[in-house]
Amino acid sequence: MRGYIPSCSPKSGAISVILKWPPSTLLLGACLAAGAAQGQTPAARCAGPPSAPAIPGSAPAREPTVKDYEQILQRTPRNARDYYDHGVLHERMGQHTSAILDYSRAIALDACLAQAYERRGTAYASLGEFPRALADLDEAIRIDANSASAHVNRGAAYEAMGQNAPALADFSQAIALDPQSANAHVRRGQSLELAGELEGALQEYGEALRIDPNDAQAFFFRGRTLIRQRRFERALADLDKALQLDPRDAKAYQSRAAVFAANGDQARSIEDYTAAIRLDARYALAWQGRGDAYARTGQTERALQDYGEAIRLNPKNAYVYYSRALVLAGRGDHQAAVADLDQAIERRAEFARAYRQRGMSRQKLGQYAGAVADFEEAIRLDGRDTVALNELAWLLATSSQAQWRDGRRAVELARTACNLSGWKVPDLFDTYAAALAEAGRFEDAVKWQEAALESAEFELAHGAGARARLQLYRAGKPFRAP
């Protein structure tokens, strides 16, 4: 989602603009010409009062024109303001190292130019050099304590470092200085969302939209928060509006695709993921999402291709390895599935579902020791995982190898799964019956096998095998898996 950058306070001779930056940057405030240095806090080096807080209802800064850019690029820098302007243009082009050099020259010529410290700080942040970024942003705020944009930018740096509390404090201070800053409200909303305060986040996005009804990023972030609350109809309306205002926003397409997927509309989900990829071919999450949609519609070859690209772009994402493993297991390639699940678990050591799925594939490969260990770990990590409980119970009840059979433990696991599901899942009754038979409780086994067969859906899917097992239990024999 591209960020809207609030302008600096207009000064005599300055060209005040709002720049739209690419999604990889943290930059949130710029002026194409600094004019005279902004007001400063009293200090030995920079004397003078701080700049005045923003005036509610003041006119917004205008968009830059091509002529603005041409005029600045044609100038040979001669003073601090010229170097500052060139730095802003280098940032606009994504040339952060060049921008830092320009801002450093501006600071060397005018050590009280707060904007140059602010912009250099945000350029450092875009390069991931956060200690330097914070040092510069601290200095910008020391020189001009009333700069709302400096507080927003410092908050963005803190947020990128995972320090949400100081980020929230900075965004709140920015709003205190400029209550009409839609961007500051959006950023505070993001901080509240990260803290799990979803209703507070929604209020902030709503306030941003009250200030600027055409703020595409506010619609996007509100839509994303509504997705987390599973309020899909409202989320879809917000994402539609975000894309209407900014049809080149890949993240908005990705989020809307997720809503379509949640609503079962896989075709439109694939369309939106494809649009996101067309806009940003390096957007790993869009490749992953489209792979999921292809997998849900049985297009396994396309799913595997998309997962492969998602892994190439972001090899640290455990979930993509897990998703690809599910497709591989569904195609019967359990060896490849285990390899992918190894990768998923290496990246996320407490990935319960990955342990469970690896246990299932290892069981198919006859690797029973590994399967039992994986099911046990999955249950340790998530004791309410009825699938892991059921799979381990089935293995302990029906294994063809006596060393792995444990009727008593199988009954315990199967009963726990049934309890967690409210005794409403016929497939779990089937496993419970097999466990009871292995424990020698054939009368109970018959009862629960018959209960499973009362389900028309279960009968249709598993009827022949279930009836054969029922006959074994009636004859006082346990079932052995082939």
Statement: residue 11 has pLDDT above 80: no
pLDDT at position 72:
65
Task: Please name which of 206, 230, 228 lies closest in space to residue 218, comparing C-alpha atoms.
Answer: 206
Q: 102-125 pLDDT, tens per residue?
A: 999 999 999 999 999 999 999 999
Amino acid in the structure at residue 260: F
Residue 17's pLDDT band (cuts 50, 70, 90): very low
Average pLDDT over residues 117-139: 97
pLDDT at position 3:
37
Reduce the secondary structure of the chain to three states and give it as a string: CCEECCCCCCCCCCCCECCEECCCCCCCCCCCCCCCCCCCCCCCCCCCCCCCCCCCCCCCCECCCHHHHHHHHHCCCCCHHHHHHHHHHHHHCCCHHHHHHHHHHHHHHCCCCHHHHHHHHHHHHHCCCHHHHHHHHHHHHHHCCCCHHHHHHHHHHHHHCCCHHHHHHHHHHHHHHCCCCHHHHHHHHHHHHHCCCHHHHHHHHHHHHHHCCCCHHHHHHHHHHHHHCCCHHHHHHHHHHHHHHCCCCHHHHHHHHHHHHHCCCHHHHHHHHHHHHHHCCCCHHHHHHHHHHHHHCCCHHHHHHHHHHHHHHCCCCHHHHHHHHHHHHHCCCHHHHHHHHHHHHHHCCCCHHHHHHHHHHHHHCCCHHHHHHHHHHHHHHCCCCHHHHHHHHHHHHHCCCHHHCCHHHHHHHHHHHHHHCCCCCHHHHHHHHHHHHHCCCHHHHHHHHHHHHCCHHHHHHHHHHHHHHHHHHHCCCCCCCC
**Domain 1-180, architecture per CATH:** Alpha Horseshoe (1.25)
Residue 16's pLDDT band (cuts 50, 70, 90): very low
Average pLDDT value for the chain: 88
| Widest CA span in the chain | 99
Average pLDDT over residues 118-133: 97
Average pLDDT over residues 133-139: 97
Statement: residue 393 has pLDDT above 90: yes
Residues of the chain with pLDDT > 90: what percent? Answer: 81
Q: Minimum mean pLDDT among 18-22, 75-79, 238-242, 341-345: which range?
A: 18-22
pLDDT at position 45:
58
Q: Minimum mean pLDDT among 50-64, 127-141, 270-284, 341-355: which range?
A: 50-64
Average pLDDT over residues 323-348: 98
Q: 222-238 pLDDT, tens per residue?
A: 999 999 999 999 999 99
The CA distances from residue 256 to 193, 261, 351, in Å, are 18, 9, 27
Of residues 93 and 450, more confidence is placed in: 450
CA distance 174 to 338: 50
Average pLDDT over residues 416-445: 98
Q: Minimum mean pLDDT among 6-20, 110-124, 250-264, 401-415: which range?
A: 6-20
Q: 23-70 pLDDT, tens per residue?
A: 333 333 333 333 333 333 333 457 444 444 554 554 444 455 546 655
